[in-house]
Each structure stands twice: as C-alpha cells, then as structure tokens.
Amino acid sequence: MLQKPFRRPQFFYTTAPLPCPYLEGRLERKLVTELSGADAEALHDRLSRAGFRRSHNIAYAPVCPGCQACIPIRLNVRAFSPNRTQRRIAAANVAVEGFEVPPRATTEQFALFQRYQAARHAEGDMAAMGFYDFRAMVEDTPIETSVIEFRDPDDALVAACLTDRLSDGLSAVYSFFDPKHARRSLGTFMVLWLVRRALALGLPHVYLGYWVPESRKMAYKAAFRPVEILWGGQWRVLTGAEAATGPVPVSTGLAQPITAG
C-alpha cells in the first residue's frame, strides 16, 4: 500500500502592532509565514498571487483591523503601454544599463543604499541598517532571486533592485537609487526595465508590492496603465477614477485576503 509523503503543515502568525511605515498615526499588523524547504518556490508563487510579499525567508501580508490602505498591485506587461512621461524617462536614461547579478551584497551596493535611506527615509527603521543587516536582506532568500544593478556609462552604480523570479512574473522586492539623480526618476525607469525583462522571459506580470493611495511615496505605482490590483479577492484592472482616489472599501475586516490558493 502506497503512502502519501508527509507534508509539513504551514503555520501562519500575526505580528504585534507596530507604527505604520506609510501612514502617520496608524498601526500595522502582518500575517507572516516561513518560506523554507523544497516547497518554498511553489508556496511563494501561491502567496504572491494572494497578495503576500517576501522579506528574507518570510512571506507577509498586512492584516490591519479596519484598514485596507495597502493594496497589492501588479503590471500586465503584455497590455502595458508607457505614457508620455514614462517614455521621456526611458529616453533620459537610455545610457543606463541594467545587469542581473547573483544576490550577493557588496559594499558598493550598501553605500548607495545608505545614501538613498539618508535622503528619502531618514526617519525609517531601514536607515539604521548596518552592512550585515543589508547583506541579510539581499542574501537570505530561499527562492530564485537576483540584484539588478543599474550603471551609467562610467560604470557608476546609480540604482539597484532586489528582484524575485516567480512562475508568472518578476517581483520587485526592494529598489533604491542615488538621490543626486532624483530628477531622472530612476524608480520609474527600473519598473520599465523590469517590464522589458519580463517580456523577454515570457512572463506576464511585474509585481510592484503594495500601492497605498494615501501615501505620496507610493503614488507612482498607479501611473503604470493598465495596472491590476488585488481587491475583493480578485485581481482586476484599476480604473482611472480609482487611481485618483483609491477603490471603494470592501466589507472585510482584513486588509488583504489570506488564502494562498
């Protein structure tokens, strides 16, 4: 008689309330689970489609009572058409070249990361990260991950994006850029690069994390059209009106669905 192989149950935990990093005066709670073992890639795929994100070997999703501010968002790369501003950004950075490198932290990357944090997120927890913390963020991954390094013609590192490979797309885990080049809109340029890379790989989506309509720092994500949001348990196209004000809240006590199917 054949026996089914033992499958370890997947445990999910809720974190204690902490100050919200996006909206002042609010608290955040997360649903977290470990990504490990032979099933880590498949689990990460399912959880990503269910609105989860990855940090190190943990997948997480916000479950803040009474708040639905964090909305999973992704690009359908085959349907995407850059607008005039995005085309101008691509042209302004035509000399910047992206290189996929293994997830190995370097002092050059860390120096850029520090400059970015000091200029853009000086009050955030990540601004206090040392090199070993940064190395853990880059290298502690149970799935296929790379760092996209963006270099100018002088080979100077001007931006970087920690990127996960999914079965249905690329996931931008964390990106940062040289603040002295802020006017070049390198954040948008990196997304445009990921779109081209996903198309070259035959992958349908680029996952952009969470869109927070009330946060100015997150507003750029809704500028990629058409873009899809996970809302009411389904991925659907974000409308123009919703891009300006956010979608109408759904009747659930959780910020995001927690199923991984």
Q: Read out DSSP for 125-182?
A: GGGG--HHHHHHHHH--SS-EEEEEEE-TT--EEEEEEEEEETTEEEEEEEEE-GGGG
Confidence class of residue 95 from pLDDT cuts 50, 70 and 90? very high
Residue 156 is assigned to a structural domain of this protein: yes
What stretch of H or E contains 32? strand 30-34
Residue 252 is assigned to a structural domain of this protein: no
The mean pLDDT of 186-203, rounded to a whole number, is: 98
The mean of the pLDDT values for the chain is: 91
pLDDT in tens, 141-193: 999 999 999 999 999 999 999 999 999 999 999 999 999 998 999 999 999 99
Residue 140 is assigned to a structural domain of this protein: yes
Residue 219 pLDDT: 79
Question: Per-residue pLDDT for 21 more than 90?
Answer: no
> What is the number of structural domains in the chain?
1
Residue 8 is assigned to a structural domain of this protein: no
CA–CA gap between residue 51 and residue 60 (Å, rounded): 9
By percentage, how much of the chain surpasses pLDDT 90?
A: 77
The domain of 85 spans 71-245
Residue 12 is assigned to a structural domain of this protein: no
pTM for this entry: 0.91
Residue 17 is assigned to a structural domain of this protein: no
Whichever domain contains 175, its CATH number is 3.40.630.30
pLDDT in tens, 48-86: 999 999 999 999 999 998 899 999 999 999 999 999 999
Considering only CA atoms, which of 79, 59, 62, 80 is closest in space to residue 71?
62
Residue 260 pLDDT: 43
